[in-house]
Amino acid sequence: MAVEPVIALQQLVKTFQIRDSLFRSHPLNAVDNVDLDVHTGEVLGLLGRNGAGKTTLIKMMAGLLRPDGGTGRVLGYDVYRDHKKIRASVSLVAPTADVGTDNNLTVRQNLEFWAVVYDLDRQLRDQRIDELLTFLNLKSYEDHWPISISAGMRQRLAIARSLLVHNPILFLDEPTVKLDAAGAHAVREFIRKINREFGITIILTTHFIFEAERLCDRVAIMDEGKIMSCDSVANLRRHLQRYDSSVIQCGEVPESLRREAIRHLGALPQVASCSFQGERAEAAQFEISADPLESVLFDALKTLRAHDIDIHAVDTNQPSLEDIFLDTVNSKGAS
């Protein structure tokens, strides 16, 4: 790629000494020879089981943890020498909502405090805070103390804090944890928005795999400190070597019409197979396998409708990111 990546890590290692007893300890590679490039303006998802090393990797990229081996540059700064500069130009949301929330200050006072600490322009402060409060639906709570609002609200406050300044990189460690459906949705939309509008590069971890599928341009699947695979969801799906299939349930289809439809469907490009099941009229269904399915589904539907076949339901079966994730993590465990 022509553009220099915002984050480039080579063979990055972090080893913790785990104490067994008073005098003995053994090393644990929490992050193990990680190579990773993050491109400007992308949303990268880190997926992995508990203890896979996601948080450790994020901390190293944010300059909060010193690597024990390998090289890395973040925004062009060296992770060993210029960690201060890295920290000053990235934002981060920790998964524990109460971090950085002072219970003695009101919601608004909290944000005003951090706005100064993060050196937000004086003129921008009030406007930015209002903007964030409104967007995260915190406006009606601005004069409340954080202890008196719910955990989910406090999580929003933490997110608001990290977005006060628009730094070029934003790390989100489990951003929607503890949020209700509406809150999580709002946060996801917000992540998308700041990524689009301000070109902020976002690196997030989550255990809601569908969330990564929705938001991320690429996902890196980690296990035991190593990155098992890192690619766009579409490419990861392609590696699975499984045809996408689609079941189209229809109303009654006369014999002649069915043959005609099958012939037309089979002739569509990229269709691997096409079949018809259904003795009883109400359970008639076409099954189509194709690679990729996305490009032919609409033509198939058009064909059926052109033959005036009534469609009751369509179910496309694509391996979801969750399937891919489990596949990757489990296959590694088996070998």
Partner 1 sequence: MMQQLRREWASLMVFSKREYIIWSSYRVNAWMWFLDVLFNTTIVFMLSLLTRDSTLDFAPYGNNYVTFVVLGFCVHYISWTNLGDPFRRVARIYWGGTMDLYLLSPLSYLTPFMGIMFRSVIDDYPRVILSLLFGGIFFGAAYSVNQLPLGLLFLALILLSTLGIGMISASSFYLLNFKQNTEPVRFLLQDVIVALAAGIYYPITVLPESLQILGGFIPHTYALDALRRLIVPGGDFTTKALPLQHWLPFAPITTDIVALTAMTLVVLPLGVWMYVSGIEKARRKGTLTRWQ
Partner 2 sequence: MTPQSAIIDVSHVSKTYRGVSIDRKESGIGLWIKSAFRLTSNRARTVRALDDVSFQIEAGEIFGIYGANGAGKTTLIKILSGLLLPESGSERVNGCTGIDEIKDQISYISTNGWMGLEWQLTVYENLMLYGHIFGIPTSELRRRCDSVLGLFGMVAGKDKHISELSAGMRQKVTLMRGFLLDRPILYLDEPTVSLDVQSSAALRQILVDAARRDGKTVIVTSHNPVDLSICRRIMLLYAGHVIALGCEAELASPLQGIKALRLTCANHQSGDGAADLVGGLLQLDVVRDVQVSEGNGRENTWRVDLLVHRDGHAASEIIDWFIARDMPIVRMRSAPLTLQELYAYHVDRTTVSGGLA
Ligand X SMILES: Nc1ncnc2c1ncn2[C@@H]1O[C@H](COP(=O)(O)OP(=O)(O)OP(=O)(O)O)[C@@H](O)[C@H]1O
Query: CB of 173: closest distance to partner 1 in angstroms?
Result: 8
Separation between Cα atoms, residue 307 and residue 149, nearest integer Å: 58
Q: Which of residues 184-243 bind partner 2 (CB under 8 A)?
A: 184-185, 189, 192, 207-209, 213-217, 232-233
AA identity, residue 7: I
Q: Which is nearer to partner 1, 5 or 63 (CB)?
A: 63
The interface partner of residue 52, options being ligand X, partner 1, Mg ion, none and the CB cut-off 5 to 8 Å by kind, is ligand X
The interface partner of residue 227, options being Mg ion, partner 2, ligand X, none and the CB cut-off 5 to 8 Å by kind, is none
253 binds partner 2 (CB under 8 A): no
**Count of all residues that appear for the chain in the document:** 335
The interface partner of residue 92, options being partner 1, ligand X, Mg ion, none and the CB cut-off 5 to 8 Å by kind, is partner 1
Least Cα distance to 89 among 119, 114, 46, 67 occurs for 119
Separation between Cα atoms, residue 142 and residue 153, nearest integer Å: 11
Separation between Cα atoms, residue 253 and residue 271, nearest integer Å: 21
Which DSSP state fits 3?
Answer: S
55 binds Mg ion (CB under 5 A): yes
Helix axes 151-162 and 122-135, enclosed angle (nearest 10): 150
The interface partner of residue 48, options being partner 1, partner 2, Mg ion, none and the CB cut-off 5 to 8 Å by kind, is partner 2
Separation between Cα atoms, residue 324 and residue 228, nearest integer Å: 12
The interface partner of residue 179, options being Mg ion, partner 2, ligand X, none and the CB cut-off 5 to 8 Å by kind, is partner 2
Separation between Cα atoms, residue 62 and residue 93, nearest integer Å: 11
Phi-psi region for residue 182, left (φ > 0), alpha (ψ -120 to 50) or beta?
Answer: alpha
- Under the rule (CB under 8 A), what is the footprint of partner 2? 16, 18-20, 43, 48-51, 55, 95-96, 98, 106, 108, 142-145, 148-153, 173-174, 177-185, 189, 192, 207-209, 213-217, 232-233, 294-295, 297-298, 301-302, 305, 310-316, 318, 322, 325-326, 329
